[in-house]
Amino acid sequence: MQSLVLRRGASRRQFLRALSSTAAALGIVPTITASAAEQPCAASAPEARRCSFWIDLLSGEPISEKELFDDLATVRVIYLGERHTVQRHHDLETRVVTELAKRGVRLVLGLEPMEALHQPVLDRYAKKQLSFDQLAEASQWSKRWRGYEQYKPVLEAALQAQALILALNARFETIRQIARSGGVERLDPSLRRELPAAMQLKDPAYERLLRLQMMVHASASPERLRPMVEAQIARDEAMAFVLASLLESPAGQGRTAVVVCGSGHIDYGLGTPARVRRRMPGVKDRIVLLSESGDVELTPEERAMARPITISHDQLRELDRPIGDYLHATSPKSEQ
């Protein structure tokens, strides 16, 4: 999540990222439109041919796809931070799975968009006992996740790669109840048992970032922020628990996980990555981010739930860590 002030520079991006991440913590998925696959850069390129390339965020230099995939093939967990309904993000996720499979990497595809309670149905899909449409119907996916159809190509790529497919998310109603009822401690015991027994709810760096970002929500106030923060952390803990459990099981040995999730769960290595690292000390991972580049659009309802905020460059520098390892940058969408 980030800021919400419509000013020059990164402010619009911050506004949309903050609203997207805050909405996710409350179980709301903003509407996002998309464009264009990767294109070479060219002077005065038309909108249909927006240029894009990969950047190594630690060296500050552009890199080739080959360099990217050669590095990704060496790690245990790859986090892909998406804006959930941006089509080019889904195209890139499918490409990552396909290219790693070509390099002989044995994969696990982890999905934030599907709740872990639906794993038995997902297993039937992975065994080709169900079609995609049957999977969606059996899991009520259309009611649980807006834009679920956009995940069909990456799921098909995972099937082609003989990857394991893992539903990561906590149940929507449980996460919403944390935000609305006053935090994890106030959950009904039956709901608390749905979440990992061990959760690190105190995380000063992550909370600092979340508190900056969550003020984008029109109903947020300092006293209401703590339950919202705990809702986000509980989702991260749940996804980390499911992922680490699989990777440390016999079925997960020798496999690399590609995790598809909202970028608010992985920015700066906070959220889900930090919680997987806690459960798997020494795990080697990469955080891969995908630029918004003007492709996020808010509905009138989403704008009504938001308010302008500002997160400064200096505030983000206080986190004292890079936002990720790699960024796929696409030239901004033309504003006409």
Question: What's the CA gap between 158 and 111, in Å, rounded?
Answer: 11
Helix 222-247 to helix 272-279 angle, to the nearest 10 degrees?
50
Longest dimension (CA), the chain: 60
**210 located within any domain:** yes
**2 located within any domain:** no
CA 293 from centre of chain? 17
Question: What's the CA gap between 43 and 79, in Å, rounded?
Answer: 32
**41 located within any domain:** no
Query: Would the pLDDT of 223 be above 90?
Result: no
Task: List, for residues 122-143, the tens digit of each pLDDT value.
Answer: 999 999 999 999 999 999 999 9
Task: List, for residues 209-218, the tens digit of each pLDDT value.
Answer: 999 888 777 6
Average pLDDT across the chain, whole number? 87
Global confidence as pTM: 0.86
CA dihedral in degrees (257, 261, 263, 267; nearest 10)?
-40
Task: List, for residues 10-47, the tens digit of each pLDDT value.
Answer: 444 554 455 455 445 544 443 333 333 445 565 444 45
**52 located within any domain:** no
Round the CA-based radius of gyration of the chain to a whole number and report it.
19
Tokens (6 digits) for 92: 């890139």
**CA angle centred on 139, ends 134 and 145, rounded to 5°:** 110
pLDDT at 177: 97
Sign, CA dihedral 215-219-221-225, equals negative
DSSP string, 237-248: HHHHHHHHHHHT
For range 46-51, the mean pLDDT: 68
**72 located within any domain:** yes
Contact 206, 240 (CB under 8 A): no
Q: Could you tell me how many helices (H) and strands (E) the chain has, helices first?
A: 14, 8
CATH for 300: 3.40.50.11550
**46 located within any domain:** no
**50 located within any domain:** no
Q: Domain count of the chain?
A: 1
**49 located within any domain:** no
Tokens (6 digits) for 186: 């106030």
Contact 231, 186 (CB under 8 A): no
DSSP string, 100-156: HHHTT--EEEEEEEEEGGGHHHHHHHHTTSS-HHHHHHHTTHHHHSTTGGGGHHHHH
pLDDT at 5: 31
pLDDT at 69: 98
Question: What's the CA gap between 212 and 2, in Å, rounded?
Answer: 7
- Domain of 149 in residue numbering reads as 11-35+57-330
